[in-house]
Structures are given as C-alpha cells and as structure tokens.
Amino acid sequence: MNREFLYLDEECVKKYLTPELVIRTVKDLWSKWKDGELQEGEHSFLPAGKNTGNEFLHIPACLSDRGILGFKWISCYMNPAEGYPFSHSNLIVLNDIKTGELKAIVHGTVITAMRTAGGHAVAAARYLTSRPLKTLAVIGNGLEARMGIRGFLCEFPEIERIKVYCRRREGFEKLRACFTSDVPLVFEEDRRRIGRGADVILAATSSPEILLESDCVEKGTTVIALDGFIDVDPALSEKADKWLVGNLKTDREEIIESGQMSHGTVLDSGKIYGEITDAASGKIPGRESEDEIIIYTHMGSGLYDTACAYEAYKSAVNAGDGVVLKL
C-alpha cells in the first residue's frame, strides 16, 4: 500500500494550470455532464462561529472517467478579519477511486478563481454569444477579475477593449499592471456606464451590494454573474430573455431557495431557461438573436475544482515536481 502523496502549492498550480487547460477541462466536463461518469455530492456549509456571516463549504466530487474522486474545502467569509480576503487557504483533496489511496493535496484558491471566472464563465460566454466579442466589461479588480480577463483573452482573441469598474482607481491600476497584451484596459469610474457597448459583462466581485443594475444592461448583452444576484440586480432574472444556470439542483438551492443571493427578492425558478450544459451540447439554443439579453448564474461545482486539480497533479508528476509527503 502506497502511503505517499503529493502536495502542490500555489506556485506549482500556477505553473501547470494554464487558462487554455482550464477552459478545455470545463468544456470536456460539460460534454459528459449527464452520462453518469460524473457525480457531485451535496454542498455542505459549516458556519464559522455564531452569527459571523462567515462559513466554510465542503464540495465532494467523483470523476469515474478519470479514476479519481475528491473534495474542495473553501472559506466564504462575508465578514473577513481585517487584512484578509473573502476567500483564501482553500484546499482540494484527490483520492484514487480503485484503491482509495490519497493521491494529492492541492492549493485551491487559484484553482477556484481560474475555474470560475477564467473557466466556466468563459466557456458559458462561448456558447451564449454569436457575434465576435469586441468589448468585455468587468466588474471587480481582484483575483477572479484577473483570472477572468486572462481566460477571456485566451478564448476570445478578437477582444478589442476591456472596461473595468471597481471602487478605487488604484485597484484598477494594480489589475492593469498584470497584463502586457495589446488589448487596452479602460477604467470606468461610473458603474452605471459599465454596460454601455459591452458584448459581455463579467461580474467578478465579493461585494454584498448590487453593482450592476438591470436598466444598465443593453440589448444584446450576455451577463455572467458569478455570485448569483449578490452584486447583480435580481430584476435581471425577469428582464433577461434567457436565464441559464450551471446546475438546476444546486443553483436552485443556493441562488433561489436560500434567499441569501438575491437581497430578499423572491426569484422565480420558472424563469430559468435551462442549464448551460444543454446549450453547450446543442439540446437547447443559446443566443438566437443579437438583441437578446442573456444572464448566466452558477455557483460552481466541485467537479471543476477536482478535475483542474487532477490536471495540475498529472503535469507535476510528469515533471517530477511537487512535494512528496507521507501519511
């Protein structure tokens, strides 16, 4: 019995998990979403103390086609301690399905951002846009915004302009310094103007306030809302011509039934047009006209994290990288 496992830190994950690989992994998962090879366990939330507004989330996943299973352990702190971000110190654990042995413990914070804003958000935009994506609007300037921009530039090389809204210009300047491409990042100081002329709006914040109002979304726009309707106007669920989710069961529970993701607004699940995987497979049409307003909300899946961690693990093993530890 093998008692050794591999530990991959943040730098190791960044070395082997490219935007292209993440996007390809998400698309591959979507192509197998309902064939029985992929199974996700219940999302389990554990409060971090009494009445703190903070919690940890445990998401197990099994990928039979890859011979692995695992789980993600992630912090979700709406009221973080001073100097700490909304989410950090996240881990992904990988086990071998056949033997049950521990294969790896992988740094999960970067994977979470990459598979979210730079992964399923980008893949969704691919299936929900019809014309070339010329203008990308981004709300936020943190890790998810950065990973989202990286992913969009990878998948949509035709992008000509990226508009960014965040509360402080210095935050924007730090974000812009992360990119050396010819595509200009433009600071938009008025959040009500962020949607003007945008083909896609990516909401990538942990803000508890609405930053994108429904009347600021123009016809023909695709809105990618990564945190439900926390920072996006819940009225968009009614205004949009199509509202797609990633997983009907988990997104209904976490976005609609919990009541925590919509500022108290009662959302109608009957307005949901369908799952993004069905649009990706062609079972339902994605964008059918250039005038449609489409919104995509998805709280994510542990399948993405587990699959991405496995890709990083395989690359590290092939390169003889990572830290070998013993149980």
Question: Quick check: helix, strand or coil at residue 244?
Answer: strand
- What gap in Å lies between CA 173 and CA 179, rounded to an integer? 10
How many CA atoms, within 13 angstroms, populate the side-chain half-sphere of residue 128? 34
How many CA atoms, within 13 angstroms, populate the side-chain half-sphere of residue 92? 31
Task: Let me know: does 226 contact 203? Beta carbons within 8 Å.
Answer: yes
- What gap in Å lies between CA 248 and CA 271, rounded to an integer? 12
pLDDT reported for residue 256:
87
List the structure tokens of 44. 């389990």
pTM over cut 0.85: yes
pLDDT reported for residue 92:
97
Contacts of 8 (CB under 8 A, 6+ apart): 104, 105, 106, 107, 309, 312, 313, 316, 321, 322, 323
pLDDT by position in tens, the chain (length 327): 888 999 999 999 999 999 999 999 999 999 999 888 899 998 898 999 999 989 999 999 999 999 999 999 999 888 889 988 888 889 999 999 999 999 999 999 999 999 999 999 999 999 999 889 999 999 999 999 999 999 999 999 999 999 999 999 999 999 999 998 788 899 999 999 999 999 999 999 988 899 999 999 999 999 999 989 999 999 999 999 999 999 988 898 888 887 777 788 889 889 999 999 999 999 999 999 999 999 999 988 999 999 999 999 999 999 999 999 999
**φ and ψ at residue 93, rounded to 5 degrees:** -110, 135
**φ and ψ at residue 149, rounded to 5 degrees:** -60, -45
Structural domains for the chain: 4-111+302-326 (3.30.1780.10), 118-297 (3.40.50.720)
- What gap in Å lies between CA 251 and CA 255, rounded to an integer? 5
Terminal C-alpha separation, the chain: 11
Distance of CA 199 to the CA centre of its chain: 19
In angstroms, the Cα distances linking 287 to 199, 200, 243, 246 are 12, 12, 11, 16
Q: Are strands 91-96 and 102-107 parallel, antiparallel or unpaired?
A: antiparallel
